Structure 1
Amino acid sequence: MGSAGDDGAAPVRLDPPERLSRTVTAWEGEAGRAWLAALPDLTAELLRRWRLTPERVLAAGGQISMIVLVRDAEGGPAVLKVGLVNRETDQEHAALAHWDGHGAVRLLAADPGQGALLLERLHADESLRSLAEPRAMLEATDLLRRLWVPPAAGHPFTSVADFTGELAELLARRRAEPYAADARALIDEALAARAGLVADSAESFLLHGDFHHGNVLAGDRMPWLAIDPKPKVGERAYDLAWLARDRLATLAAQPGSRAAARRRITSLADALEVDRDRLRGWSLFRAVEAGVWYLSVGGREDGELLLEFASWL
């Protein structure tokens, strides 16, 4: 196949994979369908502009982004990521640029307005989930130490306080919905925990925002690198809360799940010198908020599992 940037070459049309179409349609409705319809033309334009030759679309790619393995004009391997731009993803490029490959995938080019990123090629089929949990947690905590750096002056990132303030307002409104009836006590506890946490937080680090084993891939220049940040600025316990509930289905299936979840909170807090109570509070809020969101979009199984985890804390 000739390069998509070659003169006279036919435009390359790449259709979104089924998983992407399904999740974007379920989560974003009509706006998601419109974005999906425009995605093949947008991707073709990016291939032409950045002189990329597509190899294949990753069927298992992102939930709100299309991932294309490509070759650049010199034949080097890279990844084209074209994602739906929203309040969580619109600063991904800025975080990757700030980290500049230290602990995270290297950004090669970006068109933020179109949600387009050209990234170094990692091993998409080898995440931290390929490791046994104890080893994966050690690698994950080591990587977080590199990612947690001060943001630059005048940075564009949303603060944890502001972002979770919006989420708290939505959660309070969803509390009245029939699907949330059984979760109202947990919702009240989560909202109170969040209010206390933002009232006295003094830390200001650049955070990944969506850090879990699946978002850490094997690389060539470093053993493990983070991908897919949804960056925020704030305290480290907020970032660690996602990791605290990693492999949740496995955790829930084992005997003594409640005690195991609490031990994990303690272990992660001690390993990264984060206050245990603050990690517990953010883990509670983030699990409840995500669980109720899943209920709101019809994802009852995922929602109930997250709320069960929150009840253990």
Structure 2
Amino acid sequence: MVDFTMSGAFIRNVERIWGESGQAWLAALPGIADGLLREWDLRITGPLPLSINWVGRVRRADGSTAVLKLALPEAGHLADEATALECFAGRGAIAVLARDDARGALLLEEARPGDQLRDLVPHRDEEATARLIEVVKRLHRPAPAGVALPELSRRTESFARHLRRFPGDDPLPRDLVERAGRLFGELCATATERVVLHGDLHHDNVLAAEREPWLAIDPHGVVGDPGYEIGALLYNPDPAGADDTVLDLVDARIEQLADGLGMPCERVVAWGFVQAVLSEVWSFEGHEGRTTRPLRLARRLLPALP
């Protein structure tokens, strides 16, 4: 059996989110990894940071490097990630080298040298935003007929679910969640295009590479209006200093994104607002969350909504 390391924080995250199913998967994970390493002729060469998926660097039989990513199969998110990456076909994103949906496994191209785009913020933020615009343009293509990815419009249910669970203004102001839910539906209904979206594109998920200057990683995989892609770009990355450093860059980012993507500023603002509220709503699903920078962004954008 291969020497397979799992951090305590990773184990706690999996158990907290998936309970007994997560515990069973953790127990089976070394065996799953051992089988995949043999079948795909891989050797683990180093760890990568773990959150809710196991991820590690591997070397292939031909000597090239790659990344092995393992997730609880019943969660389904790794299959969506793989499908989105296959739709991108290496344009602006890492490539899929192999997938096994039944075992929740992906073998992925490694972006090297792998420096995060966040390293340009805040001192070279205009350059960072320009690179993000280039990646978005590379990624977005019309969604293929019958593509096995969830529709963006389904995420409106997250707002309704939150309002049913929390009838008052705690933990989030009810009128803000109601406004975001209505506006989310309106934006989806007036979609300018229907494209395959990364769904979680921000500075931590874009890495320096050799095949292309910058490549996206870790897509959620969803289909819908291209404007959704810009939401997370406005409140990321986590700043090294004062918590609201990034928010001081928002106005300039909105103008640059609107110009670079050919999108009305009003629509950039609207998508930024609804996705910021959605981020906060998700933080209270299934476990205790806390309000953070996205809520402050939503309040900041509220007066500029169409």
Q: TM-score if structure 1 supplies the norm length?
A: 0.85
Residues 1:97 and 1:170: Cα distance change in structure 2 (over 3 Å): same
CA separation in 2, counterparts of 1:29 and 1:174?
A: 21
Deviation at 1:112, TM superposition (A): 1.8
Q: Is the 8 A contact 1:262 1:312 kept in 2?
A: no
Aligned partner of 2:125 among 119, 126, 133: 133
Q: Is the 8 A contact 1:16 1:39 kept in 2?
A: no
1:148 counterpart letter in structure 2: H
Residues 1:267 and 1:42: Cα distance change in structure 2 (over 3 Å): same
Residue in 2 that maps onto 1:77? 65
Please give the secondary structure, in 1, of the residue aligned with 2:115: strand
CA offsets 1:93-135 (integer angstroms, 9 cap, x no match): 1121222212110111101232211111223751111223222
Residue in 2 that maps onto 1:304? 292
**Larger mean Cα displacement after TM superposition, 145-154 or 280-289:** 280-289
Q: How does 1:267-278 map to 2 (within 5 A)?
A: 267-278=256-267
**Larger mean Cα displacement after TM superposition, 96-105 or 193-202:** 193-202
Structure 2: stretches of 5+ with no match in the other structure: 302-306
Aligned partner of 1:98 among 82, 87, 91: 87
Q: In percent, how many aligned pairs have the same letter?
A: 34
Deviation at 1:141, TM superposition (A): 0.8
1:67 aligns with 2:55: yes
Aligned partner of 1:195 among 179, 185, 201: 185
Please give the secondary structure, in 2, of the residue aligned with 1:109: strand
Structure 1: stretches of 5+ with no match in the other structure: 1-10
Residues 1:67 and 1:299: Cα distance change in structure 2 (over 3 Å): same
Residues 1:33 and 1:173: Cα distance change in structure 2 (over 3 Å): farther
Q: Is the 8 A contact 2:188 2:225 kept in 1?
A: no
CA separation in 2, counterparts of 1:160 and 1:99?
A: 17
Aligned partner of 1:175 among 166, 174, 184: 166
Residue in 1 that maps onto 2:101? 112
1:68 counterpart letter in structure 2: G
CA offsets 1:134-154 (integer angstroms, 9 cap, x no match): 221111111110100112222
- Which structure 1 residue ranges, 4+ long, deviate > 6 Å from structure 2? none
Please give the secondary structure, in 2, of the residue aligned with 1:126: coil
1:126 counterpart letter in structure 2: D
Residues 1:114 and 1:276: Cα distance change in structure 2 (over 3 Å): farther
CA separation in 1, counterparts of 2:12 and 2:131?
A: 32
Residues 1:79 and 1:305: Cα distance change in structure 2 (over 3 Å): same
CA separation in 2, counterparts of 1:312 and 1:268?
A: 17
Deviation at 1:285, TM superposition (A): 1.9
Q: Is the 8 A contact 2:78 2:106 kept in 1?
A: no
CA separation in 1, counterparts of 2:125 and 2:251?
A: 16
Residues 1:237 and 1:149: Cα distance change in structure 2 (over 3 Å): same
Please give the secondary structure, in 1, of the residue aligned with 2:4: coil
1:224 aligns with 2:214: yes
2:185 counterpart letter in structure 1: A
**Larger mean Cα displacement after TM superposition, 213-222 or 242-251:** 242-251
Deviation at 1:252, TM superposition (A): 4.5
Q: Is the 8 A contact 2:111 2:210 kept in 1?
A: yes
CA separation in 2, counterparts of 1:260 and 1:56?
A: 36
Deviation at 1:260, TM superposition (A): 4.0
Please give the secondary structure, in 2, of the residue aligned with 1:54: strand
Residue in 1 that maps onto 2:197? 207
2:144 counterpart letter in structure 1: A
> What is the aligned-residue RMSD (CA, Å)?
2.4
Residue in 1 that maps onto 2:157? 166
CA offsets 1:170-220 (integer angstroms, 9 cap, x no match): 23223327852x422211221121122223224111111110111111222
2:156 counterpart letter in structure 1: G
Please give the secondary structure, in 2, of the residue aligned with 1:253: coil
Aligned partner of 2:174 among 178, 181, 184: 184
CA separation in 1, counterparts of 2:220 and 2:272?
A: 17
Q: TM-score if structure 2 supplies the norm length?
A: 0.87
1:81 counterpart letter in structure 2: K
CA separation in 1, counterparts of 2:12 and 2:300?
A: 31
Q: Is the 8 A contact 1:237 1:275 kept in 2?
A: no
